[in-house]
């Protein structure tokens, strides 16, 4: 939508889309920007960032009710039959973190140890995803400056044509295309990509927090109904169950 608006605005102003198609300007901006990226970040971080790029355009399911239902099902079994009875149910668990973490409870790990392990996994996963976001956000800071460099180079070229005034206007217009490219690359792509990745990481972390509280609750032997009420806090208000327990 942003790119379309810019192109439409160019046409409405009486210009032509072809005026914005400058291969030299694109080479300077993209080459300079990605060159700065390679210096600033490790190859592993850059690979991770581009590997996560499809996540930007995918919807994160914010409904944690299926995870809560799974936790309550396991909590009910553990409450009635004991924690060891959960072993036979592990393969039916869909959430990978819950499936992995409940094993610690079955194996008799200390509650604090289990909580620390899950906290560490959540933290490291969030840090990894945030590092990918920082690659795009950081690179987005370079692109406009590289665009200015391209504009200056274009103006230097224009200065060499002062003996032909008919070419000066066109030359200046071409020079400033590099600035447009730098601003567009930064503000319509790189920085928004980074912002969205950080938001998606925070949303996925919420589901993992639900799992952590669920596992700790199961290990502490909490009543499944109480545990469900505790976890329902993470459900968006418009998705919460409306059925309230009847008052006697």
pLDDT at 240 > cutoff 80: no
Find the mean pLDDT for residues 148-163.
84
Rounded Cα gap, residues 11 and 23, in angstroms: 20
Q: Say if 205 falls within a structural domain.
A: yes
Q: Are 205 and 137 in contact (CB under 8 A)?
A: no
Q: Say if 164 falls within a structural domain.
A: yes
Query: In terms of Cα–Cα distance, which of 185, 204, 187 is closest to 55?
Result: 204
Residues 6+ apart with CB under 8 A from 186: 140, 141, 142, 143, 144
How does residue 166 score in pLDDT terms, banded at 50, 70 and 90?
Answer: confident
| pLDDT tens string 191-238 | 999 999 999 888 888 888 999 999 989 988 888 888 988 888 888 654
Find the mean pLDDT for residues 16-40.
90
pLDDT number for residue 158: 82
Q: Which domain range does residue 229 map to?
A: 26-239
Residues 6+ apart with CB under 8 A from 234: 64, 68, 206, 209, 210
Q: Say if 166 falls within a structural domain.
A: yes
Mean pLDDT of the chain: 86
Number of CB atoms found within 10 A of residue 83's CB: 18
pLDDT number for residue 141: 94
Residues 6+ apart with CB under 8 A from 175: 150, 151, 152, 153, 154, 155, 157, 158
Q: Say if 248 falls within a structural domain.
A: no
How does residue 247 score in pLDDT terms, banded at 50, 70 and 90?
Answer: very low
When comparing pLDDT for 70 and 63, which is higher? 70
Q: Say if 75 falls within a structural domain.
A: yes
- What is the number of structural domains in the chain? 1
Kindly state the tokens that stand for 42. Answer: 């490790």
The burial class, CB within 10 Å (0-12 / 13-18 / 19+), for 121 is middle
pLDDT number for residue 241: 53
Q: Say if 155 falls within a structural domain.
A: yes
pLDDT at 243 > cutoff 80: no
SS (H, E, C) 184-225: HHHHHHHHHHHHHHHHHHHHHHHHHHHHHHHHHHHHHCCCHH
Kindly state the tokens that stand for 70. Answer: 């799974």
Q: Are 147 and 179 in contact (CB under 8 A)?
A: yes
Q: Say if 11 falls within a structural domain.
A: no
Find the mean pLDDT for residues 95-107.
89
pLDDT at 242 > cutoff 80: no
pLDDT at 160 > cutoff 50: yes
pTM: 0.76
Q: Are 133 and 195 in contact (CB under 8 A)?
A: yes
pLDDT number for residue 136: 95
How does residue 245 score in pLDDT terms, banded at 50, 70 and 90?
Answer: very low
Q: Say if 13 falls within a structural domain.
A: no
Kindly state the tokens that stand for 204. Answer: 């996925």
How does residue 189 score in pLDDT terms, banded at 50, 70 and 90?
Answer: very high
Q: Are 209 and 98 in contact (CB under 8 A)?
A: no
């Amino acid at each position: 939508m942003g790119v379309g608006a810019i192109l439409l605005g160019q046409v409405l102003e009486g210009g032509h889309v072809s005026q914005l198609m400058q291969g030299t300007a694109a080479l300077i901006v993209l080459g300079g920007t990605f060159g700065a990226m390679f210096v600033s970040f490790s190859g592993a971080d850059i690979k991770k960032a581009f590997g996560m790029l499809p996540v930007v355009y995918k919807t994160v399911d914010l409904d944690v009710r299926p995870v809560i239902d799974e936790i309550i099902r396991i909590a009910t079994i553990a409450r009635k039959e004991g924690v060891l009875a959960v072993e036979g149910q592990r393969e039916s668990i869909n959430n990978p973190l819950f499936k992995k973490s409940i094993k610690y409870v079955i194996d008799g790990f200390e509650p604090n140890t289990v909580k620390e392990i899950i906290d560490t996994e959540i933290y490291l996963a969030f840090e990894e995803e945030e590092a990918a976001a920082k690659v795009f956000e950081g690179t987005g800071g370079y692109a406009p400056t590289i665009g200015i460099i391209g504009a200056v180079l274009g103006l230097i070229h224009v200065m060499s044509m002062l003996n032909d005034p008919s070419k000066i206007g066109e030359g200046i217009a071409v020079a400033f295309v590099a600035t447009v490219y730098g601003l567009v690359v930064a503000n319509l792509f790189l920085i928004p990509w980074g912002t969205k990745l950080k938001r998606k990481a925070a949303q996925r972390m919420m589901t993992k927090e639900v799992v952590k509280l669920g596992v700790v609750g199961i290990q502490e032997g909490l009543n499944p109904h109480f545990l469900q009420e505790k976890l329902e806090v993470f459900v968006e208000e418009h998705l919460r169950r409306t059925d309230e327990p009847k008052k006697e």
